[in-house]
Amino acid sequence: MTTVEQPARYAGLPRTDGVRPPARLLLHSPLREVMGTVARRRWQIEVRGAEHFPETGPVVVAANHIGFLDGPLMAVLTPRPVHALTKREMFEGSMGAFLTATGQIPIWRRAADPLAVRPALRVLREGGVVGVFPEGSRGAGQVTRAEGGAAYLALVTGAAVVPLSVLGTREVGGALNSVPPPGTRMVLTYGAPLHFPQRDWPRRRVDVRRATDRIRAALLGTMREAEEATGLALPGPIPPTNQKEQL
C-alpha cells in the first residue's frame, strides 16, 4: 500500500495518509476512451455543458440517478476520469472485479461509511474527480431529497461541485436494472460549478445542510434546462414490483 503524507493544509481534517487509493490504471488509460466510443456507437449520446467542467483541480460531480447506466456513463464520458461512489452490492460477483479495476469506490448506503469517504477524500486531495448521486439510489430522478455526501466532500477539500443532469438512461416504466435498447437518445448535461470555502474540522451539520441545499437547487436547475433544451423528460418512478430490488 502506498503511503502519502497528508498535506499541511488538511491538518486537523479527516486523515487520508496511508489510505489505499482507488485503482487508476484502466480509468486513466486509453481504455476509457474506447469504452466511451463503444457507448456512443450503441446509443445516441449527447454531452452538453462540458465547457463548464474545470480542467484541473478537485471536482465532485453530483448527478441525478434514474438508471443502471448512469454511473458507467459518468465515469467514461465526463471530461475527466471519475471515481464514482457505487453501492457496495454492485461489487458482488463478476461485476465487482470490473468496478474495482476501473477505480470505482464501494459505499454502504445505509449508514456513514468511512471506508468509502476516505478513498474519495484522497482522490480529491490529489486533484481528481469523484462522482456522487445525492439521491442515494435509483428512482424517478427528481431529486426530491439529497444526502450530504457531495457537500461534505466539497467542504472538507475545497473541491468544486459540478451538477450533472442525466436523461434517457431508463425508459418510462422501465425496471430498476433495465437498459434502453440500442439507438436510444441519452443526454448528459453539466451545469456551472459551485464553489465552497474549505472549512475547519469538525464540520457543523448546518454547514453541510446549507451546502447540500445549494447543490440540490443547482442540480434541479441544470435538469430543467436540459429538459427544455432536449425535449427529453425523466422516466418517472420505478414500477412498484421492482421497488424491493433497491433494498
Of 173 and 100, more confident: 173
Over the chain, what is the mean pLDDT? Answer: 86
% of the chain beyond a pLDDT of 70: 85
pLDDT on residue 7: 57
pLDDT at 173: 86
CB 136 within 8 A of CB 109: yes
Joined together, the cell numbers standing for residue 82 give 471519475
Over 50: is that where the pLDDT of 216 sits?
yes
Is the model's pLDDT at 243 over the cut of 50? no
Residue 91 CB: number of other CB atoms within 10 A? Answer: 17
- Tens of pLDDT, residue by residue over 32-70, are 899 999 999 999 999 999 999 999 999 999 999 999 899
pLDDT of residue 245: 46
- Residue 206: name the closest of 135, 145, 132, 148 by CA: 148
Grid coordinates of 44: 445516441
What pLDDT sits at residue 247? 41
In 3D, which of 99, 114, 112, 123 has the Cα closest to residue 21? 123
Q: What is the pLDDT at residue 199?
A: 66
Residue with cell 456513463: 73
Per-residue pLDDT reduced to its tens digit, 14-24: 667 677 778 78
Residue, of 112 and 185, whose pLDDT is higher? 185
Q: Write the CB contacts of 153 (distance below 8 Å, at least 6 apart in sequence).
A: 60, 117, 120, 121, 124, 130, 132, 159
Give the whole-angstrom CA distance, residue 87 versus residue 99. Answer: 11
How confident is the model over 205-215, as pLDDT tens digits?
888 999 999 99
User: 131 CB contacts (<8 Å, ≥6 apart)?
Assistant: 60, 61, 63, 71, 74, 75, 78, 82, 83, 84, 85
Cβ 64 vs Cβ 165: under 8 Å = yes
Q: Tens of pLDDT along 120-144?
A: 999 999 999 999 999 988 899 999 9
pLDDT in tens, 133-181: 999 888 999 999 999 999 999 999 999 999 999 999 999 989 888 999 9
What is the pLDDT at residue 200? 62
Name the pTM for this structure: 0.86
